[in-house]
Chains A and B, each alone.
Chain A
Amino acid sequence: MKKHHNNPDSCTACTVCIANCPVTAATRKFRGPKMVGPTLERMRLSQDDIEPSLEYCSNCKNCDMSCPSGVPISTLNMLARAKYFKNRKRSLRDWILSHGEKMAKLSAATPGMANFGMKMSRGILKKIGISDKAPLPAYASKSFSKLFKNLKQTSYPDKVVFYPGCFINYNDPQVGMDFVAVMQANKLEVIVEEDFVCCGSPLVVNGFLDEAEENAKQNVQILKKWTDKGYPIITCCTSCGLMLKQEYQELFHIEGVAEYAKHLYDADEFLLDLHDQGRLNTNFGTLNEKYMYHAPCHLRAQGMGLPGVELLALIPGLDVQDADAGCCGISGNYGFKDDKYDISMEIGSGLFKAIKDSGRDTVVSECGTCRLQIGHGANVKTLHPLTLVRKSYEAYHK
């Protein structure tokens, strides 16, 4: 049963998705995944049907994960949203939130100024519908691609292609640098393509499906080129990963996705596979540290378990506890929206409480926006699992 059959009639109306939808639990304004997804999709197939509460779906994919019949409910919602906006004007707010990459490129020349400007303009952003309380990410002083260009790697015959994604590239480049260091420690050379564009996830959730498809076409061509040559592709962002391997297949009809998807890996999973093959550098130094872990919904949706937890379990001394408290609520840019901020915080409240109750001051998670939301909601430090892997390798040599 492959997952890219968008057939609403596979839904038996069993209601499991309703019980598992974090948005439904947080607000009564959302009519729920079953109704807004497959039930109304049957109507939408025959007529132009408008469901106002469609805007509340955050595309977190918990409905898809709970469905016993394999209906990609959230994708039906995203397609319906795109159809809705086909002949309607989009808000400036949605444009800005969907075009993080364009905004970042504009700001790239002077990120310091851009950050200063952003702080000053939170009032203006609030006026256009972006919450003044939401944890908007700051731009890094140097993007990942700049840092990477200046990095001297040791050349190895085995190479991997890294897809950094917008968040790592513009907001959190250190994760990308940690990734490169970990690959180098495993005698792998990292290739980064300048022509990669945003995976399109932020575009899709706001209904800019055509633009997302343009991005997809460009990425598919590059990804396919590298996997055809036998190089694996690796992401550190679970939403980018899900988009590139799964949502492209569900949303678009672009040749080649199924072929490269076979060789597209989450970084943690890739390292575990190396371990299975006896190839992982296991010179891990002891880290006598305690962390909480949060599993991003877009990782859980990928059917590979929690590779980050398994990977970190290889590091001696490290104590990582899975918070196991569901969605953090941010869902990409959902929680940045003024009218969704409270819903987003309500969704995350269980997770924030679990983290606070644990007494641990740092949370490990693969997803960049989950980390933002957790830092904001639980008032803790956050980091990517690979940062700890790198730290452990470095501890070994001390």
Chain B
Amino acid sequence: MCLAVPAKVLELRDDNMALVDISGTQREISLMVLDGDAAPGDYVLIHVGYAIEKIDEEEAARTLAMFEEMSLLDEEVPEGEDPLV
């Protein structure tokens, strides 16, 4: 139900709509609840016809690098700090 699929923005259209490419299929979706602007070339997540969030490619690369490390917690909890702060 909360399934959301990645899509590439192709062009912006009137009324806060955009044409996107979802794995090769073109669809018109709404940008009405997207926080911030989307531009052609951006990747967004589509859920029931609305873009709900951008996909941050730099952040994705950082996450992949983090997965390579021995621990995911170092990012979250610097040495000697209480994790709940």
Q: Do they bind each other?
A: no
Interface residues of B (CB under 8 A from A): none
Which residues of A are in contact with B by a Cβ distance under 8 Å?
A: none
